[in-house]
Amino acid sequence: MTNILAVGNWKMNPVKKKDAENLAKDIKKVAQKYKKVTAVLCPPAPYADVVGGALGRVKNLALGAQDMSWQEKGSRTGHVSPLMLKDLGATYAIIGHSELRELGETDEVINKKIRTALLYGITPIVCIGERERDENGFYLGVIHKQIESALQGVLKKDFSSIIFAYEPIWAIGKSARDAMTPHDLYEMSLYIKKTIAGLSSKTIAMNMRVLYGGSVEGENAGALFEGGDVNGFLIGHASIVPSEFESVLENMTAALKRLEKKE
Ligand code: PGA
């Protein structure tokens, strides 16, 4: 397995530039010990510059954004342009996070952002996920629709540049015990890949990366990575505590070793 990611979504933390810089430096030290995993740090937009500077040029570290405009410049109050992100050296952007969907971001806007990101060579990390699970499996339809609309108008050759982050809303911001089980995650990874295959081909679907997000901590990272058939994680609260982030990286690396042995 290649291209394994631990994406840190710092959300609206920390609230001081110096703290953001120090957090980036601490995470840099930690991430350099686990070279098989690429750590992508997504700080709040005002700190992207200082965090990018602190990270420097290390192979398994990258800068990302928590959101991105679908326009490159102009009258868009509060938006962050892909050109600004590129200028700061950001190579990833989280798109369609449930916290933004909740504020009214539509599938259509998310699709525009994905296509813009691809145009500017920024890897979109597209969040999908159901609010709740029902016995009839209607939640699968929610996921299907989100994937279908995310990929609308995207050239099939570009599919592999998109990363889907499966983040069930009910599992976000809790603790490892409330997160998904590896078995349920495995089934969902399969469903996501099947859906993509239906829109393209099996080969394309198999080459796409799927992450899991929602209360990933050191405690559950190993089992979810080993049994969930994912290429890594989108990590919220555990990504702003260096020791917890290290525990995630350590457990992912150990799980990867076990998976490699099985191959
Ligand atoms: P969490 O957040 O890890 O704190 O659940 C994940 C996310 O919202 O991206």
Ligand 1 centroid–CA 214 distance in Å is 5
Report pLDDT digits (tens) over 125-156: 999 999 999 988 899 999 999 999 999 999 99
Check: CB of residue 43 under 8 Å from CB of residue 18: no
Residue 1, classified by CB atoms within 10 Å of its CB into exposed (0-12), middle (13-18) or buried (19+), is middle
- Domains in the chain (CATH in brackets) are 4-262 (3.20.20.70)
Quote the CA–CA distance of 172 and 102 in Å, as a whole number. Answer: 13
Check: CB of residue 229 under 8 Å from CB of residue 185: yes
Does 9 contact ligand 1 (Cβ within 6 A)?
yes
Ligand 1 centroid–CA 97 distance in Å is 10
Does 6 contact ligand 1 (Cβ within 6 A)?
no
Query: What is the number of the ligand 1 atom nearest to the C-alpha of 127?
Result: 9
**Active-site option among 21, 130, 167, 217:** 167
Mean per-residue pLDDT of the chain: 96
pLDDT of residue 1: 56
Assign 263 a pLDDT band (cuts: 50, 70, 90). Answer: confident
**Would you say residue 59 has pLDDT above 70?**
yes
Average pLDDT over residues 95-120: 97
